[in-house]
Amino acid sequence: MSLVGPIWRTKRDKEVRRGAAGAGYRTLSKVTLRLFDTASRSAREFEPVARGKASVYLCGATVQGAPHLGHLRSAVCFDILVRWLEASGSQVTYCRNVTDIDDKILAAATAEGTPWWELAERNYREFASAYALLGCRLPDVEPRATGHIPDMIALIERLTASGHAYAAGGDVYFDVRTAGDYGALSGRRPEDMLVPAPDSLAPDNTVPDNTVPDNTGEDPGHTAYKRDPRDFALWKGAKPGEPAWRTPWGPGRPGWHIECSAMAAGYLGPEFDIHGGGQDLIFPHHENERAQSVAAGDRFARYWVHHGLVTTAGTKMSKTTGNVLAAADALYRSRPQELRYYLSQAHYRSPVEYTQEALEDAAAAYRRVERFVTRAQSTLGSAASPPETPLEALAESPPRLPLSFAAALDDDLSVPAALAALHATVRDGNYALGTGDHEDAATCLAQARAMLAVLGLDPLAPAWQAGDPSGRLHGVVDALVALALRQREAARARGDYASADSIRDTLEATGVIVEDTSEGPRWELAR
């Protein structure tokens, strides 16, 4: 694919960039997105249930432990999808659930002697804080499984009443033989559904224990009650000491799959637009969700969108193999915006192989963009563009995004091609600044910031000012550095180059890099 933005060098090019020729831009007005749909194994034109709207359900965290890099990628991939839908004029309802009751949560709580709800709450907060640090838009609703038990029971009742589910041994199972196209989403043959596939991960997005006897994550002792080995538990009978809710089939707790079916339909309706998650969730989780919801009479998701996983040394990041990079460690090693750039830059369906070198390369690429934006902003002054470009402003008065950028994101959310368009604009902008063409530089700055806002990476966005929310510290440093630079200029003017160099060296020693430009010295903090 070659969607790299053009290099703007000639007068004609500039006219096109500025819109004088009426070409080269796309003003966003309607969604023209094509998305790869796992169920149909093809990229399909996005046609929402309701015109002008988009409903998105993302399988969120199972809060049995702290988040790792794989969880962060999931949040970032879907954040970009939601931002693009919104920037394209869609009114998005974004629902991301929290699985706060699960075998692994109970096991982890028992192991550390903590109440299960306390462990779940603690981990949930870590997830929420990591998502916020990465500048992810909050979901419109973040339902918790434990808050929706009556909805799950009602859904199971519909399934038992229609003969798609049966109670046995205190559990309730879904009868897969009654679902005509069971396996259609994942494309698996019946015989391949009995063992965990190499790419089938557990609810926490990690590789499952190989001791799990089947792909439903159920208690092996209960499999004797199944009519078909592929049947999966909708409801699990209570075990001593475990939390339980009362139902017509006795006390117990929900299976993982029924949670998402009930919450998705509860908030987005029986038919909604996009259901997302990691590729590890295609089977069994999403296959089972789809089977039970369709059997209950819901049309369920129109598009199934799955992102690739984060790997290290070619192996999926997982607690089982011990190759996890915790979100907290990743955020300690990198600035959040650099980590976000790193997690964004591959196509969402490709795996991301984590290495420290790759992270540093991504950080360097982001800093090039950031340097242009801050340099252009300070050179051109506040008239160049507003200091903040919230995403809502994009939708209200859409800036002209380069066609190559819009086309890239419309093409199944191709962030690599979109970044190529961004970097081309940054190169042009730097060239314009270097030649003193402020008009062209201002256009490049506005375009770059518009593209960065769509990606959630605008360096001037409030999301990245967390360390200095009021901006006061920046103002103080700015004034002090300006004072030192004036003294340096004065020293040079009187021919005292030793003092001038000494001032510069002192600034550099404190992490302030000074660059002499045709418009006088400018500074930035060393990274």
Cβ distance to Zn ion smaller for residue 232 or 366? 232
Minimum CB distance to Zn ion, residue 285 (Å): 6
Cβ distance to Zn ion smaller for residue 74 or 334? 74
* DSSP-assigned letters across all residues of 349-387: TS-EE--HHHHHHHHHHHHHHHHHHHHHHHHH-TTSS-S
Minimum CB distance to Zn ion, residue 148 (Å): 12
Q: Is 432 in the site for Zn ion (CB under 5 A)?
A: no
CA distance 73 to 387: 28
Cβ distance to Zn ion smaller for residue 169 or 269? 269
Cβ distance to Zn ion smaller for residue 287 or 440? 287
Listed ranges 53-61, 101-109, 326-334, 388-396: which one lies at the site for Zn ion (CB under 5 A): 53-61
Q: Is the dihedral of CA 114, 117, 123, 125 positive or negative?
A: negative
CA distance 214 to 167: 19
For Zn ion, what does the binding mask look like between residues 4 and 43, x meaning CB under 5 A?
Answer: ----------------------------------------
Cβ proximity of 420 and 427 under 8 Å = no
Minimum CB distance to Zn ion, residue 260 (Å): 3
Between strands 171-174 and 401-402, the pairing is unpaired
Backbone phi and psi for residue 247, each to the nearest 5 degrees, phi listed first: -145, 170
Q: Please choose, from the candidates 90, 96, 51, 103, the residue with its C-alpha nearest in 3D space to the C-alpha of residue 78.
A: 96
Residues 225-284 touching Zn ion, rule: CB under 5 A, are 260
Q: Please choose, from the candidates 256, 279, 276, 260, the residue with its C-alpha nearest in 3D space to the C-alpha of residue 198.
A: 279
Listed ranges 57-65, 81-89, 325-333, 419-427: which one lies at the site for Zn ion (CB under 5 A): 57-65
Minimum CB distance to Zn ion, residue 443 (Å): 44
- Non-local (6+) Cβ contacts of 311 within 8 A are 317, 351, 352, 353, 354
Minimum CB distance to Zn ion, residue 59 (Å): 3
Cβ distance to Zn ion smaller for residue 59 or 80? 59
Backbone phi and psi for residue 287, each to the nearest 5 degrees, phi listed first: -55, -45
Minimum CB distance to Zn ion, residue 39 (Å): 15
Cβ distance to Zn ion smaller for residue 57 or 182? 57
CA distance 188 to 200: 12
The residue from 56, 59, 136, 310 that contacts Zn ion (CB under 5 A) is 59
Minimum CB distance to Zn ion, residue 13 (Å): 48
Cβ distance to Zn ion smaller for residue 72 or 418? 72
Q: Is 202 in the site for Zn ion (CB under 5 A)?
A: no
Minimum CB distance to Zn ion, residue 402 (Å): 36
* DSSP-assigned letters across all residues of 463-499: GGGTTSTTSHHHHHHHHHHHHHHHHHHHHHHTT-HHH
Backbone phi and psi for residue 207, each to the nearest 5 degrees, phi listed first: -65, 135
Cβ distance to Zn ion smaller for residue 290 or 423? 290
Q: Return the amino acid letter for 163.
A: G
Listed ranges 55-63, 131-139, 326-334, 366-374: which one lies at the site for Zn ion (CB under 5 A): 55-63
**Which parts of this chain interact with Zn ion (CB under 5 A)?**
59, 260
